[in-house]
Amino acid sequence: MKKRLIVDDLEFEILIPEEKIQQRIRELGAQISQDYQGKVPIFVGVLNGAVLFLADLIRNLSIDCEIDFIKISSYGDARVSSGAITMIKDFSADLHGRDVIVVEDIVDSGLSVSYLRRRIESMKPASLKFVSLLVKKGCAKVPLTIDYIGFEIEDKFVIGYGLDLAQKKRELRDIYQIVEEVGKEKE
């Protein structure tokens, strides 16, 4: 039986254990270091979810880098994306002429990523790529290119390793997936 967890009356089971997450991040770090040899990319973490991933990713690089953060919200505290994106905190760095790598925790509808792409492209970076630890299979409502993907997962709600349920459980070292009750899919 898989490791289980109850949060706010919802049942979760382990999906990706810590060792697998860390192993995959080592691979992504090596790949990005190779692709950006001789460059100093700026990693833009999407708050709050991507904080843990960004911290581990940059510690697995063998090149210099800078970091910055942006905070947007598409979920509020609901379990299903509201569709509307609100900017809560803008970048601090000047991204003009920079090699920008946006760091996301998870891509679901893809609306956040396409919003960020439009915004950053208007700042004329030298290059722009996206890395996401998780991508939900077949969910994107818009055409997307995610350059580096940690894991492709089913379209089910997940928590842990930065991902929250109403702002909680981000601190979990493993990623857990919701165990859907029969006949009760996403509300």
Question: What amino acid positions are annotated as catalytic residues?
Answer: 108
112 near ligand IMP (CB under 6 A): yes
CA dist., res. 33 & res. 172, Å (int):
27
Q: Which is nearer to ligand IMP, 33 or 74 (CB)?
A: 74
Q: Which is nearer to Mg ion, 36 or 105 (CB)?
A: 105
From ligand IMP, Mg ion, none, interface partner of 151 (C-beta below 5 to 8 A by class): none
Cβ-based neighbour number of residue 129 at 10 Å: 17
- The only residue of 54, 111, 120, 172 in contact with ligand IMP, by rule CB under 6 A: 111
* Residues between 32 and 71 that touch Mg ion (CB under 5 A): 46, 49
- Angle between the 18-35 and 51-58 helix axes, to the nearest 10 degrees? 60
How many chain residues are in contact with ligand IMP, going by CB under 6 A? 18
Binding to Mg ion (CB under 5 A): which residues in 89-108?
105
Closest by CA to 175, choosing from 164, 186, 187, is: 164
Residues in the chain: 187
Among 15, 28, 105, 169, contact with ligand IMP (rule: CB under 6 A): 105
Q: Name the binder of 35 from ligand IMP, Mg ion, none, CB < 5-8 A by kind.
A: none
Distance from the Cα of residue 184 to its chain's centroid: 26
The answer to whether residue 128 forms part of the interface with ligand IMP (CB under 6 A) is: no
* Binding-residue total with Mg ion (CB under 5 A): 3
Amino acid at 176: Y
Minimum CB separation of residue 2 from ligand IMP in Å reads 17
Contact 65, 40 (CB under 8 A): yes
181 DSSP assignment: P
Question: Could you tell me if 46 and 132 are in contact, meaning their C-beta atoms sit under 8 angstroms apart?
Answer: no
Is residue 160 a contact point for Mg ion (CB under 5 A)?
no
Is residue 168 a contact partner of residue 12, using CB atoms and an 8 Å limit? no
Which chain residues interact with Mg ion by CB under 5 A? Answer: 46, 49, 105
Q: Contact residues for ligand IMP (CB under 6 A)?
A: 46, 49, 74-75, 81, 104-112, 157-158, 163-164
